[in-house]
Amino acid sequence: MTILITGGAGYIGSHCCVTFLDAGYDVVVLDNLSNSNTASLTRAEEISGRKLVFEQGDVRDQATVETLLKRHECTAVIHFAGLKAVGESTRYPLAYYDNNVIGTHRLLSAMANAGVRDLIFSSSATVYGEPQQLPLTEEHSLNPVNPYGRTKLIVEDMLRDLAASDPGWRIGILRYFNPVGAHASGLIGEDPLGVPNNLMPFITQVASGRREKLNVFGNDYETRDGTGVRDYIHVVDLVEGHLRAYHALSNLDGRDNCFAVNLGTGDGYSVLEMVKAFERASNRIISYDFVPRRAGDVAECFADTKKAQELLSWSAERELHNMCEDTWNWVCKNPKGYSD
Ligand code: NAD
Ligand code: UD1
């Protein structure tokens, strides 16, 4: 069985390659390397002891994708390729609609032509928008508040329409909460370009001395210590959820051939709890200042995990200390990321 993994050289995709190679699948990666490096794929091969096929290309190039699906006789697609920075999406919305929406449309058209109709799609908890009640269940209203989130919702709607039109499609939509951490080997991990937008990479760079201080965005939220609470999930748990979701596709029948599931732990940690946990894992002091809230942030966001347990027989196993220790191990072994 050969799986096409789009965006497979990226942070989550490279971990997914390892999980699928370890499970015995053959893997073909399609990536345009706009936010990644082939070193992650060489490392994924090193970890699993198996080879994968890398094709440099763009998901928006329908003819290339179709040829590739046919040539490698792919049976399913896991679709990670896309742009993911909320702030950037407000400055360059057209780039986000082009890459995420048009890119997925072309991919789906290529799949239809090649007769490949099993798909796992990377969505995000950002599709829920401001939580009306917590924990967030999959039935929560979908009301994203930024262009990035809207591209994810448009793709989700496109997938639901496609599944309804033809019982041959089997589609799993996975809504990620906050993926963090790295493979326990320290060979692959997150390697953001420039100043990190997200909390964990920022804390990491303060711990390693690349940045002086963390700015904590707001200490006046109605949370246990006033700072924002999120559901951080270890990236290896997350990609194991993809393997379970892929297996779950074969249990779908034609009447109910598309599901959307949260991938989170169900636990929320505050910014200050993350700082403390990382200090323990790294044995370093993380200096921080409180600064005003970041526009668009919510106080708390965490998943209801029941549906994932029931439908996928999956729940996250790794704890906060594993997320911090594995991140620190990756950073210590690769202080300059993949450019070492
Ligand atoms: P990433 O940027 O590390 O990986 C994305 C990969 O896709 C990169 O290797 C990039 O080069 C490639 N790519 C981008 N556009 C492409 C295109 N048009 N054609 C081919 N390749 C292309 O990001 P990630 O963190 O691994 O995220 C993967 C997916 O998960 C994205 O769809 C993202 O929106 C989604 N997601 C991520 C998070 C997160 O916190 N990391 C949270 C929710 C959802
Ligand atoms: C952000 C995105 C979300 C995306 C997710 C991917 C926004 C509004 N949301 O989620 O759509 O799916 O990343 O991982 O951008 N924080 C600080 N200082 C920092 C960075 C963050 O205090 O330098 C705080 C934030 O205010 C928040 C928490 O840390 O309370 C987590 O922030 P972040 O890692 O950016 O994730 P989200 O905002 O949850």
Q: What is the pLDDT of residues 38-92, one digit of tens each?
A: 999 999 999 999 999 999 999 999 999 999 999 999 999 999 999 999 999 999 9
Q: How does 213-250 read in b/e, with b if 16+ C-beta sit within 10 Å?
A: ebebbbbebebeebbbbbbbbbbbbbbbbbbbbbebbe
Domain count, the chain: 1
The number of beta carbons lying within 10 Å of the beta carbon of residue 297 is 13
Q: Please choose from 80, 128, 146, 180 the residue to mutate so as to test ligand 1's pocket, defined by most ligand atoms within 8 A of CB.
A: 80
Query: Is residue 176 flagged as an active site residue?
Result: no
Residue 32 lies in a domain: yes
CA–centroid distance, residue 337 to ligand 1 (Å): 17
In a domain, 208, yes or no: no
Residue 311 within a domain = yes
**Looking at residue 161, which CATH number applies to its domain?**
3.40.50.720
Query: Contact at 8 Å (CB) between 244 and 23?
Result: no
Asked whether the beta carbons of 172 and 246 are under 8 A apart, the reply is yes
CA-to-CA distance for 138 and 120, rounded, in angstroms? 16
Question: Nearest CA to 3 among 111, 104, 76?
Answer: 76
The answer to whether 8 touches 42, Cβ cutoff 8 Å, is no
Query: Which tokens belong to 91?
Result: 């400055």
**Per-residue pLDDT, 252:** 87
Tokens 């496609």 belong to which residue? 162
- Whether 26 is covered by a domain: the verdict is yes
How far is the C-alpha of 188 from the C-alpha of 331, rounded, in Å?
A: 10
Q: Where are the beta strands (DSSP E) in 256-309?
A: 258-263, 269-270, 288-291, 300-301
Check if 262 has its Cβ closer than 6 Å to any atom of ligand 1: no
Residue owning the nearest CA to atom 4 of ligand 1: 10
What is the distance between the alpha carbons of residues 73 and 75, in angstroms, rounded to a whole number? 6
**Does a structural domain hold residue 224?**
no
| DSSP-derived pairing of the beta strands 269-270 and 229-230 | antiparallel
> Choosing from 11, 96, 128, 148, which is the catalytic residue?
148
Which ligand neighbours the alpha carbon of 127 most closely? 2
Ranges of the chain whose pLDDT falls below 70: 340
For ligand 1, whether the C-beta of 82 sits within 6 Å is yes
Does residue 286 lie in a domain region? no
Residue 287 within a domain? no
Q: How far is the CA of 146 from the centre of ligand 2 (A)?
A: 13
Decide whether any atom of ligand 2 lies within 6 Å of the 217 Cβ: yes
Per DSSP (E only), the strands in the chain are 2-6, 26-31, 53-56, 74-79, 118-124, 170-176, 178-180, 214-217, 229-230, 232-234, 258-263, 269-270, 288-291, 300-301
Q: For residue 296, what pLDDT is reported? A: 86
Containing structural domain, residue 44:
2-182+231-265+303-317
96: in domain: yes
